[in-house]
Amino acid sequence: VYKYSKKFNVPISLFATSFGAYINLINIAINNNEFQEIVLRSPAIEMAKILKEVLKESFSKYKENGYTILGFERKMKIPYSFYEELLNNNINKIYNNIEIPKMYIVQGNKDEVAMIEDTIKFVENHKNQIELNIIDNGDHRMKSPELRKKVMKYANRIY
């Protein structure tokens, strides 16, 4: 999508959430993709940690079996090599020695998936380039219409 959009020589902005934010952070670092604005909602900064927490007690079986099954309506087989890839693609390590683009992060202080402490650590390492907006009582999915409105109000202020 990024390569296609670049053909039109117009400014491109990014809004990504959770795992999508994680993937885009890697992509920005590796490919030097330039965006006019970057807004991340509830970014999965520590994705390997999140997967391990999701699996809890079954994590040892995950390694032993070489895969696990995850999902809601549509189940997916997740190979253990995926977890190893997450370990190898740690956002804090990737962004340790590179210039980081200006970005905005919005996240709830009650995020039960992507811990706000992990986001705060990432932001503190890049204070001049990242603005963090913490939404009081916001969960990972921002389930209530009120929370979603707060996210959109914040994003619209940037865009």
pLDDT for 108:
98
CATH of the domain at 153: 3.40.50.1820
pLDDT tens for each residue of 118-155: 999 999 999 999 999 999 999 999 999 999 999 999 99
Q: Domain check: are 53 and 69 in the same one? A: yes
Specify the pLDDT at position 2.
87
Task: Read off the tokens for 77.
Answer: 């087989």
Structure tokens given for 145: 């219409």
DSSP 79-99: EHHHHHHHHHT-HHHHTSSSP
pLDDT at 21: 98
Domain that holds residue 55: 47-89
Ranges of residues in the chain with a pLDDT under 70 are none
pLDDT, residue 77, reads 97
Q: Are residues 40 and 101 in the same domain?
A: yes
Q: Which of 142, 139, 158 is nearest to 150 (CA)?
A: 142
Query: What does the pLDDT read at residue 97?
Result: 85
